[in-house]
A and B are shown apart, each in its own frame.
Chain A
Amino acid sequence: MPETKTKPTPSRDIHAATPVPVRHMGQWLAGAVLLVVALLFLEVLVNNPNMQWAVVFEYLFSPDILKGLGITLMLTLLAMLLGLLLGVILAVMRLSSSRVFQSVAWGWIWFFRGVPPLVQLIFWYNMALLIPRITISVPFGPTLVNWDVNDLITPFSAAIMGLAFTESAYAAEMLRAGIRAVSGGQTEACATLGMTRWQSLRRIVLPQALRIVIPPIGNDTISMLKFSSLVSILALPDLLYSAQMIYARTYQTIPLLIVATIWYLVLTTAFTLIEHAVEAHFDVTRSRPSLSRALVSNLKAPFALRRKEDLA
């Protein structure tokens, strides 16, 4: 080894010594305090007799609650699906060169982002007061359709409309941003290959835009799950309303609210995991795990120990 210019100190060999990692004393202290607070809170939850955990477990898997859970799940997924479909159409309309399309889409988004979903639910449910019948007929010809609006509007269809239209407005804005984030070079490349506007949108631009908006869509799905509890105003027996119906009879308000809370948290957790898995699956810049592999690795992620190299 060549001689270094600085005076060598025999007891200090930087190559032999192992450096002591930085000690995060503040973090340890704050962590300890938080842990104590959390334990106290947990104790209140577990030992408080008003929580009536026995009642919670009695109703957690009761048929009424599970049926309500199914309705909540169906409302959420259907409203998201419909909202996204409408959102794609609206986003494309906003970005089209036609003034008419632009304005109609703008008006729709303006309206449904502005009106609270609760107001909409009540409004759609009472639509028969505004439009009693829907009649479609050939001019001077036979009547094709003649519906009584009261038959069309059930609590379920009113709920789906209210939730899906609200979602469509948010999804449209998200997708519009996603489409614009796909660089102009992509559409130019499509054009030079002879693709029509629709072909490049469908095959090149939308697939990239949708990948960009997977996280916000996941977010919206979780919001939708919670917004769907508004339908109890229409006496639609979703998760929350089913719980309410039971405690209206038994007066066990707190334990039944806890039952609903547990299920909402379970669904939220499931949606979060699914969103992460979908995101990982479609991210071509990472190695592509299958959907099921991504799900499993996500389940483990919070518990995985930090690797040595992260600490270095």
Chain B
Amino acid sequence: MTTPLLKVERLRKSFGNHEVLSGIDMEVHRGDVTCIVGPSGSGKSTLLRCLNHLEKPSSGAVFLKGEPIGLKWRGERLFEMSFNELAKQRQKMGMVFQGFHLFPHLTALQNVSEAPMIVSGVPRARAESEAMELLAKVGLGDRAGHYPHQLSGGQQQRCAIARALAMKPELVLFDEPTSALDPELIGEVLSVMRDLAREGTTMVVVTHEMSFARDVAEHLIFMDGGVIVEEGNPREVLAHPREERTRAFLSRVLETA
């Protein structure tokens, strides 16, 4: 068994008195696609945001290549990292949001080349030629000079994927990347994600697209009420769910699909 790229141990998160994550343990292996599904409010987004410390976990730990995220040892004592120390670790984890969050005052090309230039100090010419390659890869080669508001939702999300890839992350987190899109635009984003999976990009994807989970994911996690209820090979879990809660959820979503 190889050591996992990402490991989550006994992760808990509360907002005030409301416990949203009640002890999550999970592993993500290099090159795998992990899909997380579950009913609304089950804590999927919160889990994803705890992985890169956009939310600070209440307890428990996340390890990337064995290194704790947001925490550091100094001798016997454990310290929280400063924002800028955390920024170094976050470079290794890209994220794609449901609402895209592209930079509206920058063109598609600038959106992609900005972070490599100012964070990693890549010279402009190289950053831009790499950004052009990434845009071509997500099918936006002819849209490099467009501003986000001149792009369709699907194009914006593909640009956001290129932006996340530009930092050459170890893994990419996706939080419902197609939920804000019109049905006819979902396919183009999913097909870009399929290509990435084929190339061996490690991805953690919160999604409602069951067919994507079945066809692309190596691992499926079903969450409910802040815990992982069931997980395993996606085809197996979807065809023969063992838990009653999984069965109820699947019959609900597959019925509407």
Residue contacts A-B, CB under 8 angstroms, 23 given: A185-B97, A185-B99, A185-B101, A189-B95, A191-B90, A192-B90, A193-B91, A193-B114, A193-B115, A193-B119, A193-B167, A194-B87, A194-B91, A194-B115, A194-B119, A195-B87, A195-B118, A197-B84, A203-B114, A203-B118, A285-B104, A285-B147, A285-B149
Which residues from B are CB-within-8-Å of A191? 52, 54, 87, 90
Chain B positions near chain A (C-beta within 8 angstroms): 52, 54, 83-84, 87-88, 90-91, 93-95, 97, 99, 101-105, 114-115, 118-119, 147, 149, 163-164, 167, 173
Known: A207-B105, A284-B104. A192 touches B93 (CB 8 A): yes
**A195, B101: Cα distance in complex, Å:** 15
Produce 1/0 per residue, A169-199, CB < 8 A to B.
0000000000000010110110111111101
The 10 closest A-B pairs by CB, nearest first: A194-B91, A192-B95, A193-B115, A185-B101, A189-B101, A196-B84, A284-B147, A194-B90, A194-B119, A194-B87
Query: 1/0 per position for A279-291, CB-CB distance to B under 8 A?
Result: 0000011000000
- Which residue on A lies nearest to B53, using beta carbons? A191
Contact partner of A196 (CB less than 8 A), chosen from B83, B167, B173, is B83
Residues of B within 8 A of A113 (CB): none
Q: Which A residues lie within 8 Å of B102 (CB)?
A: 189
Q: Is A195's CB under 8 angstroms from B52's CB? A: no
* Docked-complex contact A211 and B105, CB < 8 angstroms: yes
Query: What is the CA–CA distance of A192 and B49 in the complex, to the nearest angstrom?
Result: 10
Interface contact A284-B84, CB-CB below 8 Å: no
Residues in chain A near residue B88, CB distance under 8 A: 194
A208 within 8 A of B: yes
Separation in Å of the A282 CB from the closest CB of chain B?
8
Given contact pairs A191-B87, A193-B90, A284 touches B105 in the complex (Cβ within 8 A)? yes
How far, in Å, is A172 (CB) from chain B's closest CB? 22
Residues of B within 8 A of A189 (CB): 95, 97, 101-103, 163
Q: Closest residue of chain A to B96, judged by CB?
A: A192
Residues of B within 8 A of A199 (CB): 118-119
Residues of A within 8 A of B167 (CB): 193-194
Which of A189, A203, A211 has the largest number of chain B CB atoms within 10 A?
A: A189
- Chain B residues with Cβ below 8 Å from A185 are 97, 99, 101
Name A282's closest neighbour in chain B (CB-CB).
Answer: B105
| A193: chain B residues within 8 A (beta carbon) | 90-91, 94, 114-115, 119, 163-164, 167
Other than A191-B90, A194-B91, A194-B167, give 6 A-B pairs with Cβ distance below 8 A: A189-B103, A193-B94, A194-B88, A203-B118, A208-B104, A285-B104
Interface residues of A in 190-232 (CB under 8 A from B): 191-197, 199, 203-204, 207-208, 211
Q: How close is A237's CB to chain B, nearest CB, in angstroms? A: 42
Chain A's nearest CB lies how many Å from the CB of B115?
4
How distant is A213 from chain B, measured CB to nearest CB, in Å?
14
Residue of chain B at shortest CB distance from A208: B105
Contact pick for A188, options B84, B94, B97, B119, CB 8 Å:
B97
Of chain B, the residue at the smallest CB distance from A210 is B105
Residues of A within 8 A of B83 (CB): 196-197
